[in-house]
Amino acid sequence: MSGEFPIVDAHQHFWEPEVNYHPWLRDQPPIAFRYGDYSALRRRYLPADYFADAHRWNVVKTVYVETEWDPRDPVGEMRYVERLRRETGWPSVAVAQAWLEREDCAQLLERQAQFDFVRGIRHKPAPGQMNDARWRAGFARLARFGLRFELQAPWTQLAEAVRLAGDFPDTLIVLNHAGLPADRSRAGIDGWRRALAGLAACRNAVLKVSGLGRPGRPWTVDANREIVSTAIDLFGIERTMFASNFPVDGLCASFDDIVLGCREIVRGLAPHEQRQFFHDNAMRLYAME
């Protein structure tokens, strides 16, 4: 099975919380988390662990996404990734941490961009923050360094993201986890679809199909078919990417469950479109060779 087609995992993490300070993985009491109890994540997770989970699949590249490392030392995380790359060859590229409203934003973006494997910045804006002048001034600096913006926010904030995309057309916005469609009621899905359609109309926005687990429920094709199919229909096959969100989504499913489930959902697409979803788009959008 592993030789059938290559996979680029567009969103995954490594960490060693006993060595490096991640507040959410170290502090007590644990923070509230969308998947509920996440005590199983509060341990080291390194490339060997990832490939044990993904051993059935031909994962050829990965995109490391910042792990809410100590916000006092965001550059330290990329130094850590640099060491991992040197020692293990993984990850392929990375998305770094930066706080766009901070006074040191310009200097921090410059330092993060100096790592030749850094492709973007992730920030999880609070409601209304994407409209804040100071935050937007930080966002405006991303294009200067050729950095993508990884947006993790629930779909209720996507109207702000639409304005952001329109005002900064030269910056690629990568929507994490399909806009977090946690409410699977009919009204919830309909609201998510409308919000997603607004962002999909912005040509500088793309989407990761990831993070679709729900606490206490298995990851199934039936539970996620409408979400995945709608995301692809709205954004188009050229602007959607597969991602595992491992180890976080390991709380809800195995790596096999997620890959096999997504494969089943996209089975009706042409073979070259399936390859775009699982491999080609991430290679292109993250400028990987």
Residue 94 lies in a domain: yes
Specify if 264 maps to a domain.
yes
Question: Is 173 a domain residue?
Answer: yes
Please say if the pLDDT value at position 71 is more than 90: yes
Say whether 95 sits in a helix, a strand or coil: strand
Domain CATH number, residue 132:
3.20.20.140
| Whole-number pLDDT of residue 123 | 87
What mean pLDDT do residues 214-239 have? 96
Residue 150 CA, chain-centre distance (Å), reads 7
**Within a domain: 235:** yes
User: Residue 178: its pLDDT value, please?
Assistant: 98
Classify 207 as helix, strand or coil.
strand
Q: Tell me, what's the pLDDT at 133?
A: 98
Which residue did the predictor score with more confidence, 79 or 2? 79
Among candidates 137, 150, 143, which has minimal Cα distance to 95? 150
Model confidence at 116: pLDDT above 90: yes
Whole-prediction pTM: 0.97
What domain count does the chain have?
Answer: 1
252/52 Cα distance (integer angstroms) = 17
Asked whether residue 248 is domain-assigned, the answer is yes
pLDDT reported for residue 5: 83
Q: What per-residue confidence (pLDDT) applies to 208?
A: 98
Task: Give the C-alpha separation, 250 to 158, whole Å.
Answer: 27
pLDDT number for residue 1: 46
Q: Give the Cα separation of 120 and 43 in Å (integer).
A: 26
Q: In percent, how much of the chain has pLDDT > 70?
A: 99
Query: pLDDT tens, 23-58?
Result: 999 999 999 999 999 999 999 999 999 999 999 999
pLDDT reading at 154 higher than 90? yes
Tens-place pLDDT, residues 155-190:
999 999 999 999 999 999 999 999 999 999 999 999
Q: In the prediction, which pLDDT does 201 show? A: 98
What value does the mean pLDDT take over residues 106-126? 97
Tally Cβ neighbours within 10 Å of residue 127: 11
Q: Report whether pLDDT(223) > 70.
A: yes
Q: Is residue 1 part of a domain?
A: no
Which domain range does residue 81 map to? Answer: 6-285
Q: Is residue 171 part of a domain?
A: yes
Q: What is the pLDDT of residues 264-289, one digit of tens each?
A: 999 999 999 999 999 999 999 999 97
Quick: pLDDT tens for 11-20: 999 999 999 9
